[in-house]
């Protein structure tokens, strides 16, 4: 899990769920466990208003009982861990079965030089009906973002890279990503990945619980099942 913070040159990882969770602060090659009683140096994320979901990339049934929003960074190693270890089971057991709608929001962190172009490329792939294909490829080839670049990865997915690059350079594309960043900041969301889980709303918004970190599948699953039990049934 990575954190965007002015005084942090590195990333924060761990699971911030429940009592006894461990937070790891990583600065370059130094890792330090917080000491007992040590105060939190940043505000705790919580929604101050519903998230706006209209126009964001989404998987699953729009009328699914539960919606999960991820704030993610394509260069974040913990986001890749979620993509590799959790997303396949989440998709097969909950998204494909109509129980969950999964929505992506971009939170490219400033110390990741390839995160913003990757976010722009993925959004622009939507114009070629290939958002989720490039989403997966960018995480699968995260270690190649530096040596290949996003356009080369997109070319391997048979995308029109000239059209993709033209879209990536539009001010409107960057504006969409910056709107996600601003929304995250409003709710004190600065870590990637961060998830918001709540009942699906017909007005295209989401209010719910904020969870930080690349949780193991067993924990993520139990959190989802608890949230599903709390969804009002007609």
Residue 150 main-chain phi, psi, to 5 deg: -70, -35
- With contact defined as beta carbons under 8 Å apart, do 122 and 138 qualify? yes
Identify the structural domains of the chain with CATH numbers, from first to last.
44-230 (3.40.30.10)
Residue with the bigger pLDDT between 70 and 147: it is 70
Copy the structure tokens of residue 46. 């919580």
pLDDT at 124 over 50: yes
pLDDT digits (tens, 9 = 90+) for 151-207: 999 999 999 999 999 999 999 999 999 999 999 999 999 999 999 999 999 999 999
Q: Which CA distances in Å does 195 have to 55, 82, 129, 234?
A: 18, 11, 25, 26
Task: State the pLDDT at residue 26.
Answer: 31
Q: Confirm whether pTM is higher than 0.85.
A: no
Task: State the pLDDT at residue 96.
Answer: 97
- Nearest-5° Cα angle at 35, 33 to 36: 130
């Amino acid at each position: 899990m990575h954190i965007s913070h002015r005084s942090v040159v590195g990333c924060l990882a761990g699971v911030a769920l429940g009592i006894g969770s461990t937070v790891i602060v990583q600065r370059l090659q130094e890792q330090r466990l917080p000491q007992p009683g040590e105060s939190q140096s940043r505000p705790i994320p919580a929604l101050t208003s519903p998230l706006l979901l209209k126009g964001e990339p989404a998987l699953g049934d729009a009328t699914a009982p539960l919606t999960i929003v991820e704030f993610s960074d394509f260069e974040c190693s913990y986001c890749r861990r979620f993509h590799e270890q959790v997303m396949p089971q989440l998709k097969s057991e909950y998204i494909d079965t109509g129980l969950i709608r999964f929505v992506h929001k971009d939170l490219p962190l400033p110390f990741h030089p390839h995160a913003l172009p990757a976010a722009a490329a993925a959004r622009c792939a939507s114009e070629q009906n290939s958002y989720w294909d490039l989403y997966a490829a960018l995480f699968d080839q995260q270690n190649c973002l530096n040596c290949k670049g996003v356009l080369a990865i997109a070319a391997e997915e048979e995308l029109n890279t000239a059209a993709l690059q033209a879209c990536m350079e539009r001010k409107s594309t960057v504006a969409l990503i910056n709107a996600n960043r601003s929304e995250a900041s409003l709710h004190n969301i600065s870590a990637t990945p961060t998830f918001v889980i709540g009942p699906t709303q017909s007005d295209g918004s989401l209010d719910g619980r904020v969870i930080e970190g690349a949780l193991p599948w067993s924990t993520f699953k139990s959190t989802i099942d608890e949230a599903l039990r709390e969804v009002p049934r007609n």
